[in-house]
């Protein structure tokens, strides 16, 4: 008898062979967890367990088999890559591929079969605690950045598990709020990145979300999982519940869920042990089968998909060995961090700092020393190392520049999160007034002041499980920044966050950098940009509003909802689509980012004036570096429909290219689009429609900085 493990057969053949040999009990055993992060295999047939791990920017440390407590291993420290907002801010598809490959190697080395990431939920409100894990407000940018990430991870024989499908755009009541959204908004804004992940990225797994849609839990949702994901998009992979996202046996059987993790079934509670057999897809399902209440058709479909996942990951013959915290990973993390940092403002060319002339630099702010790889929820990491901004600056400055430090404010003095202690002692006995006075006095005598503040990964900041309580900076940082600006004209604010923040002091501060959560190489990356070793080229993947009401979700009063319901009244007008429509000037626009050099845009041209349905049209523009140093510019293409039967955004991102130019160099950038770039989703026809008529292509340095435009027609 020929063994099904013979990999000369195709994967479908091997799947069917394995399935035919399994008992019903063995099949049921594969579709639910056996520990906090693993599901059972079939030892009798040589089918291994499947091991999953958070997260999207680093492989999570090991926990005990049946508890959330740290396992206490000494060999599970990882390299912490920048959070995904930083990756998105690079607008670099090649970097996204490098990110995926590097992270996949770390997961593979740790023998993980499924990496629980990346996240592509759309930035609807700046209060969402998990925005730092996602790729911004624009569906096109998210779609283009997620695909290479998936391919990179999966090249290592590790499945990407794209999350959270779908409409998980707030942490408040995340497990019980029902999202009301019209079909057009669903398809134009909230689904494209998931569709690209499936149809272009070929992701092997999808994670359902905690919330409800059409009053049905998204982890077992007929419309999302069966109608859209499987029937419309042809998804062949595995649907995994978010931990605790399954709520019902019958719906879990019929509505598209394949693997159930982290469930709190009746009688179970947080931390309660040894209840995996009581999961919805465990004994209750088996009992229904044995009583004849349920058949095995759905069970076989689930197991087929899981077996396919096994043959692609745990049982793949030629997968690589992987690597942990290698020199290549460090270099990749540093590159992603520096390329994602955004120079928001640079009046009087305060930056870059000439360290040969700066005798004394005052670094102020808790975020200059606080570890940021720990905390934030499920993406919390046990990093092999983390360079703080203060240490990065000290290392870069060497002995030629004195670096002095004052804390300035107390944010979060705790040093433990997710059961892991950083070992930092941030306890503080001095009063807020004493800290402010010390910081101001230090700033007076310095050539430069670098304030490193923003948010952290504590509850109600950038963290899973709770949204922010407001747009303003916490811990009275606004007052501190204003006081520093009064005593030193060379003030640089480095904002560490995965979210937009209010900046009431924006006109008082000459230079502002958006620093993100940059991972292990954070301090080295920030120092490289401040010192000018790297010319910043990042661009914002979401809009910074001046105030909360400048955001559509808040202006229309539907956040976080009430009585278990939230309605997306703003519809398709998310982010820059909303500020364009309302003619609101943002604090910093989507796509905004400055450089230490300057770029001149020529006039955009089109290769044809009219296009048919089947045509493509190419737009070309010359970009010249008119400054004195090498730099990269992200050229953005927006499309505007000048007359439509339905309301449309003023413009929508439909192309971008990152171009590197030496001083004085110029290059021609070409971006090609087809009819899809002109289309909107017609809910009545349940199809994408491009109406004949006049369009404009706009080339810009940001959504608010259009440099040139050209008209064309769709016949």
Backbone angles phi, psi at 217, to 5 degrees: -55, 135
Pairing of strands 705-714, 693-702: antiparallel
Degrees, nearest 5: CA angle 387-390-368: 95
Distance of CA 297 to the CA centre of its chain: 36
Tokens 């002041």 -> residue: 449
Query: 174, 211 in Cβ contact below 8 A?
Result: yes
DSSP line for 630-652: -EEEEEEEEEEESS-SS---S-E
Task: Find, among 639, 623, 634, 711, the residue nearest to 673 by Cα.
Answer: 639
Query: 454, 495 in Cβ contact below 8 A?
Result: yes
Cis peptide before 414 (omega within 30 of 0): no
Helix (H) / strand (E) containing 164: strand 159-165
d(C-alpha 122, C-alpha 79), whole Å: 26
DSSP line for 678-714: G-EEETTTTEEE--SEEEEEEEEEETTEEEEEEEEEE
* 301 Cβ contact list (under 8 Å, min separation 6): none
Tokens 């016949």 -> residue: 715
Count CB neighbours of 326 within 10 A.
15
* 92, 242, 550, 580: the active-site residue: 242
- Mapped onto helix, strand or coil, the DSSP state of residue 442 is helix
Residue 614 burial class via C-beta count within 10 angstroms: exposed 0-12, middle 13-18, buried 19 and up: exposed
* 606 Cβ contact list (under 8 Å, min separation 6): 617, 618, 619, 620, 697, 710, 712
What are the E-state strand segments in 330-389? 342-346, 360-364
* 481 Cβ contact list (under 8 Å, min separation 6): 451, 453, 491, 493, 505, 508, 509
Told to judge if 418 belongs to the known catalytic residues of this protein, a careful annotator would answer: no
Catalytic residues: 242
């Amino acid at each position: 008898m020929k063994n099904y493990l013979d990999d000369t057969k195709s994967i479908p053949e091997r799947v069917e062979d394995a399935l035919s040999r399994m008992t019903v009990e063995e099949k049921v055993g594969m579709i639910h967890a056996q520990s906090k992060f693993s599901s059972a295999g079939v030892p009798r047939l040589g089918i291994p367990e499947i091991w999953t791990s958070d997260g999207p920017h680093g492989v999570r440390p090991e926990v005990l088999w049946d508890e959330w407590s740290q396992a206490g291993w000494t060999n599970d420290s990882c390299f912490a890559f920048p959070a995904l907002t930083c990756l998105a801010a690079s607008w670099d598809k090649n970097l996204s591929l490098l990110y995926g490959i590097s992270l996949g190697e770390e997961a593979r080395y740790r023998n993980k079969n499924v990496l629980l990431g990346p996240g592509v939920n759309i930035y609807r409100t700046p209060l969402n605690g998990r925005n730092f894990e996602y790729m911004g407000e624009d569906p096109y940018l998210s779609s283009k950045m997620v695909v290479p990430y998936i391919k990179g991870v999966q090249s290592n024989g590790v499945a990407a598990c794209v999350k959270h499908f779908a409409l998980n755009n707030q942490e408040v009541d995340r497990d019980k709020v029902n999202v009301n959204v019209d079909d057009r908004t669903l398809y134009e804004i909230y689904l494209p990145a998931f569709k690209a992940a499936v149809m272009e990225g070929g992701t092997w797994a999808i994670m359902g979300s905690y919330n409800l849609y059409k009053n049905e839990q998204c982890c077992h949702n007929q419309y999302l999982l069966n109608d859209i994901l499987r029937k419309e998009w042809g998804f062949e992979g595995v649907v995994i519940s978010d931990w605790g996202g399954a709520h019902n046996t019958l719906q879990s059987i019929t509505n598209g869920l394949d693997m159930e993790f982290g469930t709190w079934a009746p009688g179970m509670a947080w931390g309660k042990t040894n209840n995996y057999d009581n999961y919805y897809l465990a004994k209750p399902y088996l009992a229904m089968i044995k009583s004849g209440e349920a058949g095995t058709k759905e069970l076989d479909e689930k197991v087929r998909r899981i077996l396919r996942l096994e043959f692609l990951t745990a049982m793949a013959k030629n997968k690589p060995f992987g690597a942990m915290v290698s020199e290549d990973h460090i270099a990749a993390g540093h590159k992603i961090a520096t390329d994602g940092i955004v120079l928001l403002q640079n009046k009087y060319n305060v930056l870059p700092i000439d360290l040969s002339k700066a005798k004394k630099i005052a670094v102020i702010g808790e975020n200059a020393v606080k570890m940021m790889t720990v905390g934030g929820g499920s993406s919390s990491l046990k990093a092999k190392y983390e360079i703080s901004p203060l240490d990065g600056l000290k290392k870069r400055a060497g002995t030629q520049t004195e670096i002095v430090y004052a804390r300035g404010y107390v944010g979060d003095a705790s040093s433990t999160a997710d059961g892991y202690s950083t070992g930092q002692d941030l306890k503080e006995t001095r009063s807020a007034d004493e800290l402010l006075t010390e910081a101001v006095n230090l700033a007076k005598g310095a050539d430069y002041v670098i304030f490193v503040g923003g948010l952290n990964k504590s509850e109600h900041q950038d963290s899973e499980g709770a949204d922010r309580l407001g747009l303003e900076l916490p811990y009275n940082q606004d007052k501190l920044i204003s006081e520093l600006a009064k005593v030193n004209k060379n003030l640089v604010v480095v904002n560490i966050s995965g979210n937009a923040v209010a900046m009431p002091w924006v006109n008082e501060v000459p230079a502002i950098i958006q620093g993100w959560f940059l991972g292990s190489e954070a301090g080295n990356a920030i120092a490289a940009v401040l010192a000018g070793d790297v010319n910043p080229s990042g661009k914002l993947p979401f809009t910074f509003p001046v105030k909360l009401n400048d955001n559509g979700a808040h202006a229309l009063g539907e956040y976080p909802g009430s009585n278990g319901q939230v309605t997306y009244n703003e519809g398709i007008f998310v982010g820059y689509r909303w500020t364009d429509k309302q003619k609101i000037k943002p604090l910093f626009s989507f796509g905004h980012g400055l450089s230490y050099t300057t770029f001149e845009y020529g006039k955009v041209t089109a290769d044809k004036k009219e296009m048919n349905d089947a045509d493509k049209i190419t737009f070309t523009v010359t970009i010249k570096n008119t400054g004195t140093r090498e730099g990269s510019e992200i050229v953005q293409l927006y499309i505007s429909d000048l007359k439509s039967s339905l309301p449309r955004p003023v413009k929508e991102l439909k192309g971008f290219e990152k171009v590197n130019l030496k001083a004085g160099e110029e290059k021609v950038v070409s971006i090609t689009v087809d009819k899809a770039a002109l289309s909107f989703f017609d809910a009545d026809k349940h199809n994408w429609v491009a109406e004949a008529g006049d369009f404009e292509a706009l080339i810009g340095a940001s959504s608010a900085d259009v440099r040139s435009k050209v008209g064309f027609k769709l016949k």
